[in-house]
Amino acid sequence: MLKILEDKIATPLGPLWILCDELFNLRAVEWEEHSDRMEQLLDIHYRVEGYQRVAASNPGGLSQKMRDYFDGDLAIINTLPSATAGTPFQREVWQILRTIPCGQVMHYGQLADMLGRPGAARAVGAANGSNPISVVVPCHRVIGRNGTMTGYAGGVQRKEWLLRHEGYLLL
């Protein structure tokens, strides 16, 4: 059975859950108001092998590192380890998301091209929307082809805040 250590931190955008395994690999990062989504993803990914959620204070230093990100140490999220479940295609998309530099964005078509699957922008969008590790796997850095702030599971206002925080959007 997988033991998932969990903590919740305060951020400028509201409470944020941080869940990791015993090796301190992130398994989920989600806004408190979307806890139901997080629990659905945990069930989808780990129900078969079984998992147990256990409260922990700053597991592996991850909670403090997330606080540091919100305090301005933007590069720290690049150092955080993750171990996500999901389909091979989803994991491939999530891996590419982590290569988008802070302060930059891509659109879904560009991600599909990077994966060698031109025309798969909708599939990329669906994988992006299933990302269990908000902020760290920076799905907020993906925008519409025309520059619009397309959907973000945490809400478009959070997406805009994160992009301003990272220097893409100016005040």
Among 59, 61, 35, 27, smallest CA distance to 131 is for: 27
Q: Could you tell me the two tokens for 147?
A: 């520059």
Q: Report, as residue numbers or ranges, the catalytic residues.
A: 139
Helix (H, G, I), strand (E, B) or coil at 5: strand
Q: What's the CA gap between 170 and 153, in Å, rounded?
A: 22
How many Å separate Cα 84 from the centre of its chain?
Answer: 10
